[in-house]
Amino acid sequence: MARIVIVGNGMVSYKLCEKLVEKNSSASITVIGEEPRPAYDRVHLSAYFEDENADKLTMAPKDWYNGNGINLITSEKVSQINREEQYVTTHTNAKYEYDYLVLATGSSAFVPPIKGVEKKGVFVYRTIEDLEMMMAYGKKASSAAVLGGGLLGLEAAKAAIDMNLKTSVVEFAPRLMPRQIDEEGGLLLKNKMEDLGIDILLGKATSNIEGEEEMTGMAFSDGTSLDVDMLIISAGIRPRDELGKEAGLEVAERGGFVVNSLMQTSDEKIFAVGECASYENMIYGLVAPGYDMAEVVAEQIANDNKEYTFTGCDMSTKLKLIGVDVASFGDPFCDNIPHYPISINDKKNGIYKRINVDLEGKKLLGGILIGDADDYNMLHQMFINEMALPPHPQDLIIKSSGEEGGAGMGVDALPDTAQVCSCENVSKGDICCSIKDDGVTDINGIKAATKAGTGCGGCLPMVNNILEDTLASMGTVVRKEICEHFPYTRQEMFDLIKVNEIKSYTELLEKYGSGGGCETCKPLVGSLLASIWNDLILKESTIQDTNDRFLANIQKGGSYSVVPRIPGGEITPDKLIVIGEVAKEFDLYTKITGGQRIDLFGARLNDLPLIWERLVDAGFESGHAYGKSLRTVKSCVGSTWCRFGLHDSVGFAIEVENRYKGLRSPHKLKGGVSGCIRECAEARGKDFGIIATEKGWNLYVGGNGGANPKHAVLLAGDIDKETVIKYLDRYLMFYIKTAEPLQRTAPWQEKLEGGIDYLKQVICEDSLGIGEQLENDMKILIAHYTCEWKAAINDPEMRKRFTHFSNDDSHDPTQKFKRERGQRFPVAW
């Protein structure tokens, strides 16, 4: 039995173990890693900032290694290799003999020799421990700088800003990500980063890190300086090849064990894989090539197969930085290759796209996408597979409005050999096979059968397209059934409930479902029942999500927030005083929301009815902040005060908010009304936006803020108030009837075949002849409106539910609060 010793337990080391297990290798495997825990997902290291949960990042727990007969030794550093006698020794002087040695020592962050780097407050970004130290230090810091404006540096900057630090990025080159994107792209990216609140300093060489024991700032060679409390160095990586130097293994000029296409170092008994291996003078700082190298070694160890070789790897990348899409593929610059660049630079929407096409216009050579990288997967595939370009290559990056995905081609054009998931090396053919031959019908099934998308996850949108496409080609109708209890789509359920006049969940489950229901179908049916009958949501409270069940938004620590409706954001001084008094009496934290109302946090379950009693007495109504329903209609001050105002935007906002208050929908709904084109109410960032014009009003639909901001698009222009209301009635009802669960108006609208033009026909021209019906349905809902809180506090049976214990009147004794800035907060969980 061959003895394999693997040095290092990082991502690639783990992958090698996994592959050896999969291939049923008979070798006896020992893994020696210097970090205190088994290999974890370094690629998603930044996720640790969110929940500090190291377990989530773990590739496989210790038990996995044990269970598969792998001897995993952690917190042990290999300090020497004895090639003659084929053993390694560790820093505790333990000795391990090998037949084959695999070096998977990865790399460490490169720390440039700047004066003062040893000071407290200077960090690198590589391990969980690095993050822990950084987070601890960050608590007492107020600003941070990142040295290096590359892929990793920008990710570190995002992490710093999430730690609430004033953040700057310091880059030596004259632009960001100099290795991946060109000047124009760099400029746009800089603007986008600045929009996120990150300062970008370019062309700066750092000469000194200032401060006594702890750093206090940085000095640059041009004489300028920056006051800053901490520094994260992200200036590149250095392969960890120190073991090789001493053992006389060949080491590349720029570092890394020199390997051949079989991953053998200059000693054929010793392999090197991952970030410590230098293949043709190249270190691959990405995980996918490392996995490929692991496959090469696993094939040799398990199957004695020397045919499978490493041939280099594509370095295309998509930045997973939240908030800004950045991707580059192939050769983004083509500096020395004859080519035609085709680019668009849409400064208004912050989108830059460039593709490089060969002189014959037949092939893609590379490209850059910033601001909108939706087409990355498709373009990347076209590049890798050298697919023929469409007659007008510019169509690949220019979207005509309403069309989904500009890349002008569907997944059906991809050859079966196209590698879709590069992390796990899964081809389109593999995925199709799992669907056609093994009967897989959903994404989870594909993940289980092929492992596609289980790495970085970047390929999932494309995997999903392949799934839908293949199912469709097999004649299987792709149905989005709700869950195991109801074999229907949301729209079918809507019709079932309506046509058969179903009034309760239990009745529906009995007649059309099976089993005992679940957390997916119960709230969904609750929402449908409310959308169709506008009945009180509390009547069948236990099918509702907790927010709807207790008519308030649950927050950390089990307390709830209370949001009274303030239509259009207009409120009298007397009502303001009542809110203040109530907040004071129940010790509630108060905050002004983005929707122009006031959120009261920290209400205990038992207090909710008491709080609302006071609010309802003062004339407030439920704000439905807890429901998938109309939230607010935001307004600017409009013509009543503003010198630019054309019409009364506040009055109209109040009218519209009162019309649709309590309306239950597939997802939350927001509106806005602005008094002129200056758009102070940001109405186009809402599901519906109304903007005054000289001649009347423009009605925009399908906008939203959040993670994927979208501007609403014009449905009808220069229409009068009555028509606005008529179209809105129809639009909202059509959305409520046909959208998927939890789908907001923007994605719904995008998925509608025919897009906005189709919508215009249905709503404004009544092409389906359902206009009147939609308006009537809306009228019924409006007529049935009651304030849920008013009803709840006046019904003793309903009130009874607002207690934490059913056998005791006390509050939950485990709830803990602290005081900050004069208000009460829950303690962190």
By the criterion CB under 8 A, which residues form the site for another protein?
55, 484-485, 506, 509, 515-519, 521-523, 541-546, 549-550, 554, 556-558, 801, 803-808, 810, 812-815, 829
Q: Does 458 bind ligand SF4 (CB under 6 A)?
A: yes
Judged by beta carbon, residue 288 or residue 715, the one nearer ligand FAD is 288
**H helix runs in 23-113, sequence order:** 47-51, 54-57, 62-67
Pick the piece of the chain touching ligand FAD (CB under 6 A) from 4-12, 259-267, 501-509, 766-774: 4-12
Least Å distance between CB 720 and ligand FAD? 53
Q: Which of 740, 728, 736, 670 is nearest to 533 (CA)?
A: 736
Distance of CA 739 to the CA centre of its chain: 22
| Separation of alpha carbons 189 and 221, rounded Å | 25
Distance of CA 760 to the CA centre of its chain: 32
| Separation of alpha carbons 334 and 699, rounded Å | 45
Q: Which of 413, 415, 382, 385 is nearest to 396 (CA)?
A: 382
Q: Which does 269 bind (CB under 5 to 8 A by kind): ligand SF4, another protein, ligand FAD, none?
A: none
Q: Which does 645 bind (CB under 5 to 8 A by kind): ligand FAD, ligand SF4, another protein, none?
A: ligand SF4
Least Å distance between CB 510 and another protein? 9
Q: Could you tell me if residue 326 is left (phi over 0), alpha (psi between -120 and 50 degrees) or otherwise beta?
A: beta
Q: Which does 105 bind (CB under 5 to 8 A by kind): ligand SF4, ligand FAD, another protein, none?
A: ligand FAD
Query: CB neighbours of 683 closer than 8 A, spacing ≥ 6?
Result: 634, 671, 672, 673, 674, 689, 690, 691, 700, 703, 712
The DSSP element (H or E) to which 827 belongs, if any, is none
Contact status, residue 211 vs residue 233, Cβ threshold 8 Å: no
Least Å distance between CB 102 and ligand FAD? 11
Residue 622: CB atoms within 10 A of its CB come to 26
Judged by beta carbon, residue 242 or residue 679, the one nearer ligand SF4 is 679
| Separation of alpha carbons 505 and 523, rounded Å | 9
Least Å distance between CB 318 and another protein? 27
Q: Does 459 bind ligand SF4 (CB under 6 A)?
A: yes
Contact status, residue 528 vs residue 490, Cβ threshold 8 Å: yes
Q: Which does 102 bind (CB under 5 to 8 A by kind): ligand SF4, ligand FAD, another protein, none?
A: none
Judged by beta carbon, residue 105 or residue 450, the one nearer ligand FAD is 105
Least Å distance between CB 293 and ligand FAD? 9
Q: Does 35 bind ligand FAD (CB under 6 A)?
A: yes
Least Å distance between CB 692 and ligand SF4? 7
| Separation of alpha carbons 666 and 744, rounded Å | 7
Q: Which does 829 bind (CB under 5 to 8 A by kind): ligand FAD, ligand SF4, another protein, none?
A: another protein
Least Å distance between CB 549 and another protein? 7
Span 631-670, contacts to ligand SF4 by CB under 6 A: 636-638, 642, 644-645, 649
Half-sphere exposure of 790 (CA within 13 A, CB side): 13
Least Å distance between CB 684 and ligand SF4? 11
Pick the piece of the chain touching ligand SF4 (CB under 6 A) from 238-246, 254-262, 452-460, 769-777: 452-460
Q: Does 10 bind ligand FAD (CB under 6 A)?
A: yes
Q: Which of 252, 288, 387, 524 is close enough to bind ligand SF4 by CB under 6 A?
A: 288
Query: For the window 315-334, what string marks contact with ligand FAD as x by the rule CB under 6 A?
Result: -----x--------------
Kindly list the distances between the CA atom of residue 112 and the CA atoms of 117, 285, 443, in Å, as whole numbers in the listed order: 8, 18, 44
Q: Does 34 bind ligand FAD (CB under 6 A)?
A: yes
Question: In DSSP terms, which residues pair with 554 in a beta bridge?
Answer: 560
Judged by beta carbon, residue 93 or residue 814, the one nearer another protein is 814
Query: CB neighbours of 412 closer than 8 A, spacing ≥ 6?
Result: 469, 473
Query: For the window 73-92, what string marks contact with ligand FAD as x by the rule CB under 6 A?
Result: ----xx--------------
Phi, psi of 608 (to 5 degrees): -50, -50
Q: Which does 20 bind (CB under 5 to 8 A by kind): ligand SF4, another protein, ligand FAD, none?
A: none
Pick the piece of the chain touching ligand SF4 (CB under 6 A) from 416-424, 565-573, 593-601, 715-723: 416-424
Phi, psi of 307 (to 5 degrees): -80, -35
Q: Which of 72, 373, 389, 423 is close enough to bind ligand SF4 by CB under 6 A?
A: 423
The DSSP element (H or E) to which 14 belongs, if any, is helix 11-22
Q: Which does 804 bind (CB under 5 to 8 A by kind): ligand SF4, another protein, ligand FAD, none?
A: another protein
Query: CB neighbours of 749 closer than 8 A, spacing ≥ 6?
Result: 701, 702, 713, 755, 756, 759
| Separation of alpha carbons 255 and 250, rounded Å | 10
Question: What does the chain come to in residues?
Answer: 829
Task: Identify the residue whose tokens are 């207690």.
Answer: 803
Span 787-816, contacts to ligand FAD by CB under 6 A: none
Q: Does 460 bind ligand FAD (CB under 6 A)?
A: no
Span 154-213, contacts to ligand FAD by CB under 6 A: 155
Kindly list the distances between the CA atom of residue 765 and the CA atoms of 727, 758, 760, 770, in Å, as whole numbers in the listed order: 10, 10, 7, 10
Q: Which does 567 bind (CB under 5 to 8 A by kind): ligand SF4, ligand FAD, another protein, none?
A: none
Q: Which of 763, 762, 665 is nearest to 723 (CA)?
A: 763
Q: Which does 810 bind (CB under 5 to 8 A by kind): another protein, ligand FAD, ligand SF4, none?
A: another protein
Q: Which of 286, 396, 663, 759 is close enough to bind ligand FAD by CB under 6 A?
A: 286
CA dihedral of residues 415, 421, 427, 432 (deg, nearest 10): -90
| Separation of alpha carbons 139 and 65, rounded Å | 37
| Separation of alpha carbons 439 and 471, rounded Å | 10
Three-class SS state of 772? helix
Q: Which does 813 bind (CB under 5 to 8 A by kind): ligand FAD, another protein, ligand SF4, none?
A: another protein
Q: Does 290 bind ligand SF4 (CB under 6 A)?
A: no
Residues at the interface with ligand SF4 (CB under 6 A):
288, 421-424, 453-459, 636-638, 642, 644-645, 649, 674-676, 678-680
Residues at the interface with ligand FAD (CB under 6 A):
7-13, 32-35, 42-43, 45, 77-78, 104-107, 125-126, 152, 155, 240, 243, 274-275, 285-288, 290, 320, 456
